[in-house]
Amino acid sequence: MLTQRQKMILAAIVEDYVRYAEPVGSRTLSKHRGFQISPATIRNEMADLEDLGYLDQPHTSAGRIPSQKGYRFYVDHLATDSEVDPETIVALRALFQEQMSEVERVIQQTTTVISQLTQYTTLVLGPKIHQEKIKHIQLIPLSHGTAVAILVTDAGHVENRQVHLSEDISSDAVARMVNLLNSKLQGTPLANLRSHLYREVATEMANTLEYFEDAIAVLDELATVTDRNPGKVYVGGAANMLTQPEFRDVDKVRPLLEWLEQADWYTAEHALPVAGSKLQVRIGQENEVEPLRDCSVVSATYSIGGVPVGNIGVIGPTRMNYRRVMHILDYVASALSNVITERLSGGSW
């Protein structure tokens, strides 16, 4: 167990290294931190912290930098709560007061704002589509035998699929089909669409619709929405990684940038595991995803009506401003949950 003095020195080294990206020496701490400790005593404590694995010394004559173990101890025990600066609070409040037309737009803008405020990379998993409910279905004929089926969810998500119809189907028949589908399927979770279709809808359609097979074809195509697209991934500020001293070597950062470019919902989910209502911090080798092993990832979960639906993550070097990032993510996760829940329950989407 570290002594109180060792904790104080470790916290100071982490915070100075985060701020200046330079190894921290004993004389720097004694001068600028106001420690009532001699440089020699600080040196001895730093040597002990290095022996314990909390600090590294990149060069013999240089000061120390935190190890991954040192960052972990700092995050778990030393990163005290701190207020985010007023400018950041103003920017976040403005984001969530803006009236945007759909959930997708809110999440996209949230991704951009977080990356701008932190100067790190932001990765956000949109809500799983299968958790959304059908708001309405439209069918727009294109030409003889083809049409576009449009599905709109309660979260403002829009999907369209091209479908084949009987060439002799009339516009009145299409209208009756759409009306029946909406009356029976509105409010149905997408995850239940197939079972709901064959259990409750198909029989009635067979008895009342002249073009029953066309209706089934439309629903079969719409039911593939969750098969092809479980949810969206939003990336903001990927280029911010290039501004970090640790990643100025292009060969070192290339695997990370390629992973961000190619990440889909399933691969991104491994990087941002669901953390419930608790912030989660993964440092360096704690990350399961190989291209993130030189990074730290701070993640939080947001919800709709108390049900977790997606994750927000900030990716940066292990030399990350943990206190600031954790405070921003805590605020954003709560605000995003409240905004989406309020607007969906109010029917504004």
Any idea what the CATH number is for the domain that residue 139 is in? 3.30.390.10
> Domain span at residue 160?
130-228
Residue 283 has a pLDDT of: 97
277-280 long-range contacts (CB < 8 A, ≥24 apart) are 277/301, 279/326, 279/329, 279/330
Residues 264 and 334 in one domain: yes
pTM: 0.79
CATH code of the domain covering residue 66 = 1.10.10.10
Residues 108 and 220 in one domain: no
CATH code of the domain covering residue 236 = 3.30.450.40
Instruction: Show which of 202, 228, 254 is a domain's final residue.
Output: 228
Residues 293 and 332 in one domain: yes
Specify the residue for token string 């167990």. Answer: 1
Residues 163 and 209 in one domain: yes
State how far the Cα of 71 lies from the Cα of 65, in Å rounded to an integer: 10
Instruction: List the beta bridge partners of residue 311.
Output: 301
Residues 212 and 312 in one domain: no
Residues 69 and 109 in one domain: no
Residues 123 and 241 in one domain: yes
Residues 186 and 315 in one domain: no
Residues 115 and 142 in one domain: no
Residues 61 and 71 in one domain: yes
Instruction: Show which of 60, 78, 96 is a domain's final residue.
Output: 78
Q: Exposed e or buried b for every residue in 169-199, given b needs 16+ CB within 10 A?
A: beeebbebbbebbeebbeebebeebbebbee
Residues 241 and 337 in one domain: yes
Residue 86 has a pLDDT of: 84
Residues 22 and 144 in one domain: no
State how far the Cα of 210 lies from the Cα of 212, in Å rounded to an integer: 6
Residue 347 has a pLDDT of: 54
Q: How far is CA 223 from CA 17, 23, 161, 204, in A?
A: 52, 56, 10, 18
Query: Can you give the pLDDT of all 349 residues of the chain as single tens digits?
Result: 899 999 999 999 999 999 999 999 998 888 776 678 888 999 999 999 999 999 999 887 779 999 999 999 999 999 876 667 888 888 888 888 877 667 778 889 999 999 999 999 999 998 777 677 888 899 988 877 888 999 888 777 788 888 888 888 888 888 888 888 888 888 888 877 777 666 667 777 777 667 778 887 887 888 777 666 677 899 999 999 999 999 988 888 999 999 999 988 778 888 887 656 678 999 999 999 999 999 999 999 998 888 788 899 999 999 999 999 999 999 999 999 988 888 766 655 5
Residue 229 has a pLDDT of: 64
Instruction: Show which of 193, 228, 263 is a domain's final residue.
Output: 228
How many structural domains does the chain have?
3
Q: Which amino acid is at 152?
A: V
